[in-house]
Amino acid sequence: MKTVKPFVTDSPIVSKQGKVVPCQLKHSSPTEILGRVIDPQNPSFTREAAQSALELQFPPRDVTRMNELAEKARSASLLDLMHSKARISLKKTTSERNG
């Protein structure tokens, strides 16, 4: 399997509309990159592109797999939050004891 190095830059990027957009692409996943390209806060699709996007569909097998991966990602995030809270709690109780 080929390893792909992440694209790293702090340089601004100029969009097609001529806007300068700050760029922080360090350690960007493909999902993060696609999220920036799609950017729902910037409704820049042409009417035809928007209609075509609404017609896109994934095969049921792929939808099932995407849902499985999304659930796994949510679970990992919740576990990370719980571990973080546990570490902070342990640190707090240790400092209170040593007070």
Q: What is the pTM of this model?
A: 0.40
Long-range pairs for 44-50 at CB < 8 Å and ≥24 separation? 44/17
Q: Which pLDDT band holds residue 51 (cuts at 50, 70, 90)?
A: very high
> Is the model's pLDDT at 4 over the cut of 70?
no
Return the number of other C-beta atoms located less than 10 Å from residue 45's C-beta: 13
Tokens of 2: 């080929």
Where do the structural domains in the chain lie, given as residue ranges? Answer: 1-56, 58-99
Quick: pLDDT tens for 7-21: 444 555 555 666 665
Residue 85 reports pLDDT greater than 80: yes
Among 66, 73, 24, 16, which Cα is nearest to 45's? 16
CA distance 36 to 43: 12
Q: Is residue 87 very low, low, confident or very high in pLDDT (cuts 50, 70, 90)?
A: confident
